[in-house]
C-alpha cells in the first residue's frame, strides 16, 4: 500500500479494516529515497518506529453519498493531523489512495498510516485498573480534549475504543473521522456518533443543510461516561441493555424524570467530576471545560492513593479484543453496534412451493433521501449477490432500490457479512428478496437487515443457498 507493507490483520469495523504494517521491504529508505515514516502530514522531527497501523477505508460498492462520506471522514483526519499535532493525539504518518483496477474492492480505497499502539482504553477497563492508574488515564484523555478544543476542534466520538495506549503507557486520542471544526462557539457535523456517548441535546438535534450543531460540551458529556466506565468496570451510568435503551434513560434524566445514579465503585472525587460532565443541558455543562476539568484533576492527583481494582470487570457481553490494537476501526464514524440475528426457524421452503412471501419496506437512514421521490441515483441502495461475501461493487446486482420500496422476502440469514448504514447501525442479518424487475438476469438478491425497519418472522434460508438465483 504505497510505501507500506502489510504484515497482518489487526481488526475490522463497519467502515474500515486495520492492518499491521511497516516500511516496504525494498530498502530502509523506501522506494523514493526517503524513510516513509518521515512523510507524515505537517510533522517534522524524530523518525517513528518501523511498525505502523494501516487503516483501510474502502469506497467501492458504496452509494455515491456514502463514498463521499468516507472520503470526507478521511479528509478530516488528515486535516486535523496537519494542524493539531500533540502527544495526546495519535500521529498520522501518511495517507494513500489505492489504485488497483485489477482488484475492484480495493480500487479507490483510502489508507491512513498511523503510529502503532499497544491496546485501547477498553482493553484496560476490561482487565481492571487501580484508582491511581484510572486517574492517570483520564487525565491523559482530558489533556487531549483540552488541546483539541483549544485548537478549535471537537472530537465528536469519544469513547474507550477511541483512546489508545502506547507501548510506554501514554494516552492518545484516535479516530477523528467525526471530528468537527468549530466556527465560533460551535461547528456542524454529520448526524452520526456512538449512541451510548451522545449528550441529551444530540438525540433531538435538528438536521440542517450543514448537518447537526456540535459543541465542545458534547465531548465533556462523553468524558463523563468514560470516567464512570473506568471506575465501574465498564458499566454506563445510564441503565439499559441496548444503546437505544440507554439513550431513553439519558432523555429521562435530562428531562428531570430520573436522577443520575452512579455506581458506588466510582470514587468520590471522580463521581463529582463525572456528575459535572454529565450536567443535563449544554448550558449547565459549558462551565466545565476540558481545561478546567484538567486543572481539577491536577490539583487532586498528588494526594490520591493507589488502590486495587474494586471488583472484577464484567466481560460476559463484551467481545475479546486483540492484545495489539492499533487504531479504532469504527471507521468514518464511531459505530453504534446493532445486531439483528433473526429468530430460530426451520429452513425456507424451496421456490415454487406456493408459499406466499412476506413484504419488507426498504429503509434509507440518510434523511435527505427519505424525503425524495425522484429516485435520484445518489439515493439508491444496492442488493447483494452473496450475503457471505464483502458488500462491494462486484457483489451487487444491477437492480437498485430506494427508500420506501416494498420487496417480497422469502427467508432470512442471520449470520452473513456485516453491513453498516449511514447512521453507523450495523447488522449481520440478511433477507433474500425477489427482484422488483421482471425478466432480470437473477430472480432474487439479498437485502441487508439494516436496510429495513421490518422484522418479519421468516424461515431460515437453506445453508446451500448463499448466492442469489
Higher pLDDT, 438 or 67: 67
Instruction: Tell me the pLDDT tens digit for each residue of 95-136.
Output: 888 888 888 888 888 898 988 888 899 999 998 899 999 999
Cell numbers given for 154: 471537537
Residues 414-420: what's their mean pLDDT? 81
The domain ranges of the chain are 4-115, 119-301, 358-451
> Per the structure block, which three cell numbers stand in for 316?
460476559
Measure Cα distances from 198 to 17, 146, 282, 289, 310 in Å: 24, 19, 12, 17, 27
Instruction: For the chain, report the end-to-end CA distance as a whole number of angstroms.
Output: 36
Q: Answer whether 0.85 is exceeded by the pTM.
A: no
Burial 290-305 (b: 16+ CB within 10 A, else e): beebbebbeeeeeebe
Higher pLDDT, 334 or 379: 379
Q: Which three cell numbers stand for residue 419?
A: 453491513
**Catalytically active residues, by annotation:** 157
Q: Is 199 left (phi over 0), alpha (psi -120 to 50) or beta?
A: beta
Q: Which CATH superfamily does the domain covering 4-115 fall into?
A: Phosphorylase Kinase; domain 1 (3.30.200.20)
pLDDT of the residue at 344: 34
Lowest mean pLDDT, pick from 51-65, 288-302, 313-327: 313-327
Asked whether residue 466 carries a pLDDT value surpassing 60, the answer given is no
Q: Measuring CA to CA, which residue among 33, 175, 38 is closest to residue 93?
A: 38
Task: Say how far apart CA 10 and CA 328 lie, in whole Å.
Answer: 10
CA geometry: angle at 139 spanning 225 and 285, to 5°? 45
Average pLDDT for 41-56: 59
Q: What is the mean pLDDT of residues 407-414?
A: 91
Cβ atoms 191, 207 nearer than 8 A = yes
d(CA 51, CA 21) in angstroms, rounded, equals 6
* CATH code of domain 119-301: 1.10.510.10
* pLDDT in the model for residue 131: 92
pLDDT tens-digit profile of 380-394? Answer: 888 999 998 877 667
pLDDT the model gives residue 448: 92
Residue 414 binned pLDDT confidence (cut-offs 50, 70, 90): confident
Mean per-residue pLDDT, 425-432? 84
**What distances in angstroms separate CA 179 from CA 58, 147, 188, 212, 249, one per listed residue?**
20, 13, 10, 13, 26
Would 4-115 and 119-301 be classified into the same CATH topology? Answer: no
Q: Any bridge partners for residue 115, and if so which?
A: 52
pLDDT tens per residue across span 181-220: 888 778 777 777 788 899 999 887 777 777 778 899 999 9
- Closest by CA to 221, choosing from 173, 131, 175, 286, is 286
Nearest to 420 by CA among 61, 120, 103, 8: 61
State residue 439's pLDDT score: 63
Question: Predicted confidence band at 42 (pLDDT cuts at 50, 70, 90)?
Answer: very low
Residue located via cell numbers 436522577: 259
Confidence band for 305, pLDDT divided at 50, 70 and 90: very low
Of the two residues 371 and 438, the one the predictor is more confident about is 371
Q: Give me the phi and psi of 78, to 5 degrees please.
A: -65, -45
The rounded distance, in Å, linking the Cα atoms of 321 and 385 is 31
Q: What is the mean pLDDT of residues 161-169?
A: 90
pLDDT of 343 above 70: no
What DSSP state is assigned to residue 408? E
The confidence score (pLDDT) of residue 26 equals: 61
Three-state DSSP state, 94:
strand
CB of 179 within 8 A of CB of 151? no
Q: Which of 291, 301, 335 is nearest to 423 (CA)?
A: 335
Amino acid at each position: 500500500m504505497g510505501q507500506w507493507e502489510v504484515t497482518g490483520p489487526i481488526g475490522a469495523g463497519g467502515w474500515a479494516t486495520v492492518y499491521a504494517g511497516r516500511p516496504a521491504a525494498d530498502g530502509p529508505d523506501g522506494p523514493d529515497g526517503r524513510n516513509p515514516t518521515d512523510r507524515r502530514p505537517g510533522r517534522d522531527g524524530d523518525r517513528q518506529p518501523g511498525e505502523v497501523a494501516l487503516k483501510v477505508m474502502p469506497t467501492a460498492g458504496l452509494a455515491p453519498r456514502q463514498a463521499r462520506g468516507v472520503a470526507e471522514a478521511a479528509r478530516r483526519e488528515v486535516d486535523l493531523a496537519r494542524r493539531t499535532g500533540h502527544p495526546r493525539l495519535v500521529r498520522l504518518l501518511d495517507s494513500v489512495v489505492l489504485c488497483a483496477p485489477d482488484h475492484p474492492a480495493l480500487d479507490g480505497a483510502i489508507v491512513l498510516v498511523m503510529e502503532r499502539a499497544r491496546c485501547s482504553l477498553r482493553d484496560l477497563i476490561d482487565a481492571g485498573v487501580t484508582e491511581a492508574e484510572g486517574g492517570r488515564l483520564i487525565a491523559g484523555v482530558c489533556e487531549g480534549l483540552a488541546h483539541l478544543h483549544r485548537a478549535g476542534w471537537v472530537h465528536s466520538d469519544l469513547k474507550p475504543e477511541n483512546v489508545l495506549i502506547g507501548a510506554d503507557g501514554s494516552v492518545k486520542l484516535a479516530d477523528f473521522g467525526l471530528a468537527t471544526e468549530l466556527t465560533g462557539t460551535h461547528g456542524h457535523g454529520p448526524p452520526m456518533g456512538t449512541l451510548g456517548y451522545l449528550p441529551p441535546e444530540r438525540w433531538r438535534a435538528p438536521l440542517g443543510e450543514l448537518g447537526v450543531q456540535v459543541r465542545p460540551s458534547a465531548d465533556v458529556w462523553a468524558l463523563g461516561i468514560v470516567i464512570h466506565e473506568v471506575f465501574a468496570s465498564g458499566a454506563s451510568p445510564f441503565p439499559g441493555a441496548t444503546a437505544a435503551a440507554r439513550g431513553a434513560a439519558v432523555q429521562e434524566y435530562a428531562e428531570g424524570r430520573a436522577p443520575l445514579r452512579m455506581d458506588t465503585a466510582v470514587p468520590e472525587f471522580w463521581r463529582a467530576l463525572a456528575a459535572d460532565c454529565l450536567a443535563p443541558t449544554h448550558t449547565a455543562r459549558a462551565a466545565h471545560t476540558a481545561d478546567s476539568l484538567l486543572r481539577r484533576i491536577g490539583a487532586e492527583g498528588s494526594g490520591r492513593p493507589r488502590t486495587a481494582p474494586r471488583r472484577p470487570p464484567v466481560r460476559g457481553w463484551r467481545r475479546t479484543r486483540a492484545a495489539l490494537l492499533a487504531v479504532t476501526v469504527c471507521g468514518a464514524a464511531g459505530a453504534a453496534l446493532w445486531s439483528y440475528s433473526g429468530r430460530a426457524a426451520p429452513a425456507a421452503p424451496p421456490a415454487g412451493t406456493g408459499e406466499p412471501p412476506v413484504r419488507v419496506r426498504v429503509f434509507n437512514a440518510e434523511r435527505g433521501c427519505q424525503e425524495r421521490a425522484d429516485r435520484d441515483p445518489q439515493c439508491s441502495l444496492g442488493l447483494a449477490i452473496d450475503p457471505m461475501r464483502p458488500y462491494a461493487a462486484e457483489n451487487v446486482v444491477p437492480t437498485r432500490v430506494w427508500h420506501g420500496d416494498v420487496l417480497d422476502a422469502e427467508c432470512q440469514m442471520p449470520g452473513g457479512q456485516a453491513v453498516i448504514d449511514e447512521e453507523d447501525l450495523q447488522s449481520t442479518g440478511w433477507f433474500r428478496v425477489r427482484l422488483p424487475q421482471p425478466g432480470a438476469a437473477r430472480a432474487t438478491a439479498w437485502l441487508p437487515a439494516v436496510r429495513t425497519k421490518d422484522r418479519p418472522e421468516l424461515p431460515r434460508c437453506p445453508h446451500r443457498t448463499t448466492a442469489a438465483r
